[in-house]
Structure 1
Amino acid sequence: MQPPYPATVLKGRSVTGREQRYCRRMRRARRTLALLGTTALMVSAAGCAEPEPEPEALSLTRAAEVYLEAVCPVNEAWDIADVELDRLRLAAQRGGETSTSAFADAMTNVADRSGAAASSLTSSERTWPDAARDPVADVAETLVTDREQAEQVAKLPVEQIVEYQWEGADGIGTAAAEARAALDLPADADAACEAWKTSGERETTDEAEGAEQ
């Protein structure tokens, strides 16, 4: 008697078409369960992920500290670059040695510190007081521009360096002055950074004395 469904051979025995369809359904069911199990694990892992921390809402005093921590190292880098620029100009006038190596290193340092300061001022880990938010954002924007410009100037030959006029210098000064005013800092940038530096040195001394006791 002929079987009701065509038979094939599977692993050495005869299997009917009905059994084949049953096997296919079982394989699909196992694959579905496997996929559902993987998805469930993924959802479970996502549900266990730690929530993003809330950004720190800076008080005016803390905001001033964070601002100075970001920009004062940039000002220090500029002081060194200005010295190297004066050296280059003097050497060019006298016709002496005009290697740009030290100046290039100084400008690279300006670029690096400007980029770091811009990242600090725009960090999502903190929020600025309302009055300081826009001025600080403006300073961060000028720092990004300064970084790009400093990288370019570092590669110039001495003839172009000594004649170079920094682009956007007036806007940079205005943005920084507005940020200092919004943060209730001294109007003079050097005075503000000197006070910040002195405060940091005093805190370091206090910590060292406390550790000795």
Structure 2
Amino acid sequence: MGNLLRRGSGAVVIVAIALTAGCAAQDPKPQKPEVLTASRAGGVYLDAVCPINEAWDSADYELDRLRLVVGRGGSNSKAFAASMQGVAEASATAAKQLAPKDQAWPEEAKAHIAEVRDTLLADQKQALKVAKLPAKDAVVYTWQDREDIGVAAAEARASLGLPADPELACTQWAEQQKSKKDAKPTKDSSD
């Protein structure tokens, strides 16, 4: 009987160890996010916001076309509405990219990035609203908080050591990324 008890207690210990190991594997301790270096943070920022410039270029083009349509008495705003949808999508995507879960912004940039993220989320809502406007209202619409958006973006660029001019920053970033891509060795096609 004494031998049976020892075997039983050994089994209890083994089961307890297995359960503890199982719980530990299922509930890992959350790790602190990696703080981005200044140069990496600038790249993450530009990857997020530069596509918005392209969406705005398209929206500006469609707004000019819509003004011509309205000037001729027309009211078809489908292309303009689609371009504003593009602005909304680009803003939402950028806002999400500016809140990485596994990385943290450098301390000097955190508040500025958070402000840019807030303006992007506001832009997303506003773009969706403008996309639904009748053509005659869309062509005279004044974008809300334009100055705040520009100030937030300028402060974020400054805190990340990026050029003050947003177009220049994005152009330089695109050229740098293209150079990196072009410099990658390609696999020999004769293999």
Q: TM-score range by the shorter chain?
A: 0.7 to 0.9
- Which aligned pairs between 1:1-213 and structure 2 lie closer than 5 A? 44-49=21-26, 50-95=28-73, 97-207=74-184, 210-212=185-187
Amino acid in the other structure paired with 2:131: A
Structure ID, larger Rg: 1
Structure 1 residue 40 displacement after superposition = 9.4
Give the aligned residue type for 2:41.
A
Instruction: Give 1:161 shift.
Output: 0.2
- 1:106 match: secondary structure: helix
1:51 Cα deviation from its structure 2 partner: 4.2
Higher RCO by CA contacts (8 Å cutoff, separation 6 or greater): 2
Is 2:52–2:91's contact at 8 Å kept on the other side of the alignment?
Answer: yes
Q: In 2, distance between residues paired with 1:203 and 1:181?
A: 24
Q: How many residues align?
A: 173
Residue matched to 1:6? none
- Which residue identity does 1:60 align to in structure 2? A
Contact 2:43/2:173 (<8 A) preserved: yes
The letter of the residue matching 2:113 is V
Cα distance in 2 for partners of 1:148, 1:42 equals 48
Q: Deviations over 1:160-197 (max 9, x none)?
A: 10110001111000000000111111110000000111
Match of 2:13 in 1: none
| Structure-2 residue corresponding to 1:29 | none
Structure 2 residue aligned with 1:33: none
Partners of 2:36 and 2:105 within 8 A in 1:
yes
Deviation at 1:100, TM superposition (A): 1.0
Residues of 2 paired with 1:98 and 1:79: CA distance?
Answer: 21
Supply the distance in 2 between the matched residues of 1:66 and 1:197 (Cα, whole angstroms). Answer: 13
Q: Which amino acid aligns with 1:181?
A: A
Query: In angstroms, what is the RMSD of aligned CA positions?
Result: 2.0
In structure 2, relative to structure 1, the CA distance for the partners of 1:42 and 1:195 (3 Å cut) is same
Tell me how far apart the structure 2 counterparts of residues 166 and 41 of structure 1 sit (CA, whole Å).
60
Q: CA deviation at 1:42?
A: 6.9
Q: What percent of counterpart residues are identical?
A: 42
Which stretches in structure 2 are left out of the alignment for 5+ residues? 1-15
Q: How big is each residue's C-alpha offset from its partner over 1:67-124, in whole Å with a ceiling of 9 and x where there is no partner?
A: 00000001110110010001101221233x4421111111111111101111111222
TM-score normalized by the length of structure 2: 0.84
> What corresponds to 2:9 in structure 1?
none
Amino acid at match of 1:102: A
3-state SS in 2 of match to 1:73 = helix
Letter in 1 for 2:94: A
